[in-house]
Structure 1
Amino acid sequence: MKFHVAVLLLLCAFVIAEAASKHRPNHKKASLSQKKHLVEIEEKIERLLAEEEALEEELNEENEEYEDDVAEEEDEEDMEEEDQREEEEEDEVQAAYDEDDEGPLIDLCLEKYCGAGRECVVNLQGEAECQCMQECDFEPDDRRRVCSNHNETWNSDCQLHRMRCLCVEEAETCTKEKYAHVHIDYYGSCQEMPECTEDEMKDFPRRMREWLFNIMRDMADRHALSDYYMKLEEEAENDDTKKWTNAVIWKFCELDGHPRDRAVSRHELFPLRAPLYTLEHCIAPFLDSCDADDDHVITLKEWGKCLNLSDEKLEHIEEFCEDLHDD
């Protein structure tokens, strides 16, 4: 604004000076000093106009910076509001499993069972759910390695089970589809195992029954069986016709963990298979043969038939597990 006024004043001065020179009788003989004065006025006007243009550009830049600052402040306010909403949601979840305002927190995952390779988490709705483990600790000890049914060595059982979970859930981080059915064959790095001969395979059910009965009797001597299975062990001791049947039923029911569904999965066979594989190389093909329909689980009838129990013993065998018997 000040520049506009200055320019106008100079223009007025220039006009007045020009008019005055024209009304003088000898205006054509104006002195050189007057002409020089007019030139100086013109130069000042040009400088003022140039300065005004520069000032306008500077003001425009400042306005743009101001508008950017305002937009950035608005974005920061939006982010703060979003963070505040998330904190409020988390507080609501926290409050959902508080026993009371002063009492201890309720662990919603305390009674939530998640299979191998999964972990329990509390979601934003305050519900406990099982998800594939985010990561596994690196195991530097070679003794923690495991060999899979694909004859591949894994750094730990956690990594193998986590990968299986990811493949079952069809996650992008699943490296191979076949890992949806991966399971542990035995502890330690994979090694070349001798083949199980036909004669060894044929005799294996008998040796397996003997071994199961001896384990059951040893646990009974240590009072490590429930009252129900203690009774089955006593019957097996006193009645040879129940010796193999009761031992076979006890072991199957013990393996049938989570869920109790009258079927043993490949994972549930792990406590039986893994420790014995390097000592009993026939156990792997034997257990595979028990899964007659190849559905990756072994039913109690398949288990009994695989261990050569008679059809008469198999007829009502599914009623013998303790939890099913109590129902």
Structure 2
Amino acid sequence: MKYALVLILVVAFLALETTAAKKKVRRLKWKPRPTEAVAPPEDDANTNEVEDDNIKMMDQDEDFAKQQELLRENERAREEAPTDPEMFNMVQLPDVCAEVICGAGRVCVPNAENVGVCECISECPVETEARRKVCSNHNETWTSDCAIYQHRCWCDTGDLRCKSETYKHVHVEYYGECRDMPECSEGEMADFPRRMRDWLFNIMRDLADRDELPAYYRRLEAEAETNMTKRWANAAVWKWCDLDGQPHDRSVSRHELFPIRAPLMSLEHCIAPFLNGCDEDSNHRITLKEWAKCLELAEEDIDEKCEGIDADADAV
């Protein structure tokens, strides 16, 4: 009986231990279920900043719309405004420089009496490109042709900025920086007048073919095509008249020779000494007779046929 009671107590103890162990195992295996992250509520300060930005953008859009409407109203007002000066009781002043022709390096400006007069250009554009540079007859490189013409004007008017008296006749020799040019040999110079005559006629013919020659000179070109005695003479007269710019004074100055001298310098190194030799009396002007003699043409074959030159002379 005693042993039976002990056995029952042992079995009961073991049962209790087993139950406790199972509960412990269940407690170890249990894990809490993950919970979803909840975003914290927005800061009130950030919300206010966003609202302020929206208000600013709306104000800017409204201002822009007002500006656009104002521009449209101004444009409509300009279109509808009367253009007749009399509507505003305005007096139209004549352009005092409209009929004034100034030479290179000079511009027309109204003087104290409101009369258009030619003055030396005050300032030449600043040139930075090398291709704008020019070489003068003094073998000096200048920044631009404007600078040369401006300096010549200073010397003509007695401006203290003039380097010396010799610069009264400074002119553009050719485009680009000054460089060493080969000398023109005696044989080359002897043949140059013939080559020059042919070149002048070919240029005249080419302009006529392209319909870029005035009607008066087209007739001279047509005459030269059919009359060989007029071939070179007419071309020489045409080019001399073409070079004699405003005002027509029946002579071609050294700087008026620029259109034929400068482009040819790099191709024809004899062009400069040839043209210098045309000015027999060294007065820096070439008359038609000097031009004819330089091109080895008979004086009787040369007539002053320049279109409008007589009218200009009579008007002086």
Superposition TM-score, scaled by structure 1 size: 0.67
Residues 3-82 of structure 1 mapped to structure 2, 5 A cutoff: none
Residue 235 of structure 1 corresponds to 223
Deviations 1:248-282 (A, max 9, x none): 00000000012111100011101111111111110
Is it true that 1:302 corresponds to 2:287 in the alignment?
no
Deviation for aligned residue 1:110: 2.3
Residue 174 of structure 1 corresponds to 162
Is it true that 1:212 corresponds to 2:197 in the alignment?
no
Residues 287-326 of structure 1 mapped to structure 2, 5 A cutoff: 287-314=275-302, 317-318=303-304, 320-324=305-309
- Residue identity opposite 2:306 in structure 1: C
Residue 99 of structure 2 corresponds to 111
Deviations 1:118-158 (A, max 9, x none): 11111121100001111112100111100000000001111
> Considering only aligned residues, what root-mean-square deviation do their CA atoms show, in Å?
1.8
Deviations 1:68-113 (A, max 9, x none): xxxxxxxxxxxxxxxxxxxxxxxxxxxxxx9994255432212211
Deviation for aligned residue 1:170: 1.2
Deviation for aligned residue 1:223: 1.1
Residue 185 of structure 1 corresponds to 173
**Aligned residues, how many?**
227
Identical pairs, percent:
58
Is it true that 1:142 corresponds to 2:130 in the alignment?
yes
Q: Distance in 1 between matches of 2:267 and 2:92?
A: 49
- Residue identity opposite 2:90 in structure 1: E
* Local SS of the residue matching 2:117: strand
Q: Distance in 2 between matches of 1:133 and 1:110?
A: 17
Q: Distance in 1 between matches of 2:224 and 2:139?
A: 38
Residue 274 of structure 2 corresponds to 286
- Residue identity opposite 2:123 in structure 1: E
* Local SS of the residue matching 2:256: coil
Cα 1:141–1:104 change in 2 (3 A) is farther
Equivalent residue in structure 2 for 1:131, among 119, 122, 126? 119
Q: Distance in 2 between matches of 1:188 and 1:272?
A: 15
- Residue identity opposite 1:208 in structure 2: M
Q: Distance in 1 between matches of 2:89 and 2:132?
A: 44
Q: Distance in 2 between matches of 1:106 and 1:325?
A: 29
- Residue identity opposite 2:196 in structure 1: M
Cα 1:101–1:152 change in 2 (3 A) is farther
* Local SS of the residue matching 1:213: helix
Deviations 1:5-56 (A, max 9, x none): xxxxxxxxxxxxxxxxxxxxxxxxxxxxxxxxxxxxxxxxxxxxxxxxxxxx
Residue 146 of structure 2 corresponds to 158
Decide whether the 8 Å contact of 2:292 with 2:299 is kept in 1: no
Residue 23 of structure 1 corresponds to none
Q: Distance in 2 between matches of 1:151 and 1:285?
A: 14
Q: Distance in 2 between matches of 1:157 and 1:227?
A: 32
Q: Distance in 1 between matches of 2:219 and 2:238?
A: 11
Q: Distance in 1 between matches of 2:284 and 2:105?
A: 18
Q: Distance in 1 between matches of 2:267 and 2:112?
A: 49
Q: Distance in 2 between matches of 1:112 and 1:135?
A: 20
As a proportion of its length, which structure holds more helix?
1
Q: Distance in 2 between matches of 1:256 and 1:240?
A: 25
- Residue identity opposite 2:144 in structure 1: S
Gaps of 5+ in 1: 1-97
Residue 259 of structure 2 corresponds to 271
Gaps of 5+ in 2: 1-84
Deviation for aligned residue 1:200: 0.5
- Residue identity opposite 1:322 in structure 2: E
